[in-house]
Amino acid sequence: MRRRAFLGAAGAGVAVLSSPAIAQGRVEWRMVTAWPKDMPGLGTGAERFARRVGELTGGRLVIRVHPAGDLVAPLQGFDAVANGTAEMSHGCAYHHTEKSKAFPFFTAVPFGLSADEHISWLRHGGGQRLWDELAEPFGVRPILCGATGARLAGWFQKEIKKPDDLKGLKIRSSGFGALVLERMGAKTVPMPAVEIAAAFQSKAIDAADGLGPAADIGLELHKAARFYYWPGVNEPSVAVELLVSKAKFDALPADVRAIVEGVAAAESAEMTAEINFRSGPALQALTGQNGTQLRQMPRDVLIAQANAAGQLMRNLVEDADPQVKKIAQVYLAQRRDLIGWSKLAELGFAGARDLKYNYP
């Protein structure tokens, strides 16, 4: 996927605004996204969700997808839904940290939960109820609608050998991950994905957390930075938030509401599957013909990041805002419970599979 294909999506929704009215008895909604239309996993996931809702409702609910920058600015989905510019947004909860410092808990936490663990917390550990309570005063309802799965640390224009190498670097990052990097002396710059390559070229940034090998190739980040570091501890997995106008959602027929929720739940697995499927070949292309230098982040840097993340979490547990404090406490309690099982099961299997043995 070429970057020009992403950027060419900006005008894709213009014709929609002048299309004929939807037939009587049908509802047409606008969904703004934080992604270019064809971005693997994220942009394609938004399109897939909208298409499947239309199919399963027999066209009773038609969702028009407006890619990043079409109807509103890429990171303005929350305000667009809250003020009625759109009925839905497809993005990440940490894009609206200014509403509450607790929102990033529902996207990604440094050294926090994996994609599967995050879903467990939301569905069985009380996380969804806390998310609903956080969003309710704004008249919006959040629904999980995808996850990237495991991430890499991102793109750097110079090698990172020790924690001090991060000091003074201008890094594109968001949410709690950005706060951790700032504690380590970096300067963070939030920006939508489509702006990353240009920001590298203009020297506005020296590094950026990527979105995954397939998306990063499309954005041509490999042309802007040589070093691609792993693992992605600042954003272990990024959860995608479908934000819906609560009043308009509640006004839908019960079966249509159930379809929206069911398709979003299915997309939570589908998106991860697509990204995993595309990531292997994309990574091979990056490290082969494109000459990207794949590097493991040094152990001392990871430990320093973990310590900075731990201090951030302690501060949130002691926060003056009782809602922030409560969410932090519940999240960390779930993390302690979930890690033990994941270490035994997932890491145990990964370690066994990495042994040397005779296998085709």
Q: What is the pLDDT along the chain (360 residues), one digit of tens a residue?
A: 433 344 333 333 333 333 333 444 799 999 999 999 889 999 999 999 999 999 999 999 999 999 999 999 989 999 999 999 999 999 999 999 999 999 999 999 999 999 999 999 999 999 999 999 999 999 999 999 999 999 999 999 999 999 999 999 999 999 999 999 999 999 999 999 989 999 999 999 999 998 999 999 999 999 999 999 999 999 999 999 999 999 999 999 999 999 999 999 999 999 999 999 999 999 999 998 778 999 999 999 999 999 999 999 999 999 999 999 999 999 999 999 999 999 999 999 999 999 988 898
In a domain? residue 350: no
Q: Residue 247 CB: number of other CB atoms within 10 A?
A: 12
Q: Is there a single domain that holds both residue 181 and residue 59?
A: no
Look at the chain and report how many structural domains it folds into. Answer: 2
Q: Is there a single domain that holds both residue 124 and residue 90?
A: yes
Q: How far is CA 28 from CA 62, 206, 260, 336, in A?
A: 5, 42, 14, 43
Q: Is there a single domain that holds both residue 193 and residue 127?
A: no
In a domain? residue 284: no
Q: Is there a single domain that holds both residue 146 and residue 178?
A: no
Q: Is there a single domain that holds both residue 125 and residue 212?
A: no
Q: Is there a single domain that holds both residue 223 and residue 94?
A: no
Q: Is there a single domain that holds both residue 171 and residue 70?
A: no
User: 257: buried, middle or exposed (CB in 10 Å: 19+, 13-18, 0-12)?
Assistant: middle
What is the distance between the alpha carbons of residues 211 and 245, in angstroms, rounded to a whole number? 27
- Smallest CA-to-CA distance from 195 within 179, 182, 184, 211 is with 211
What is the distance between the alpha carbons of residues 132 and 115, in angstroms, rounded to a whole number? 19
In a domain? residue 119: yes
Backbone φ and ψ of 244, nearest 5°: -125, 145
- Please name the residues in contact with 248: beta carbons below 8 A apart, sequence gap of 6 or more: 29, 87
Secondary structure of residue 200 in the 3-state scheme: helix
DSSP secondary structure letter of residue 20? P
Q: What is the pTM of this model?
A: 0.90
Q: Is there a single domain that holds both residue 39 and residue 115?
A: yes
Q: Is there a single domain that holds both residue 176 and residue 316?
A: yes
Residues in a beta bridge with 347: none
Q: Is there a single domain that holds both residue 194 and residue 323?
A: yes
Structural domain boundaries enclosing 50: 3-150+237-278
In a domain? residue 347: no
Q: Is there a single domain that holds both residue 11 and residue 45?
A: yes
CB 127 within 8 A of CB 334: yes
Q: Is there a single domain that holds both residue 145 and residue 266?
A: yes
Can you read off the two tokens belonging to residue 25?
A: 């008895």
CATH number of residue 180's parent domain? 3.40.190.10
Task: Using the structure block, give the residue that is written with the tokens 């299309």.
Answer: 19
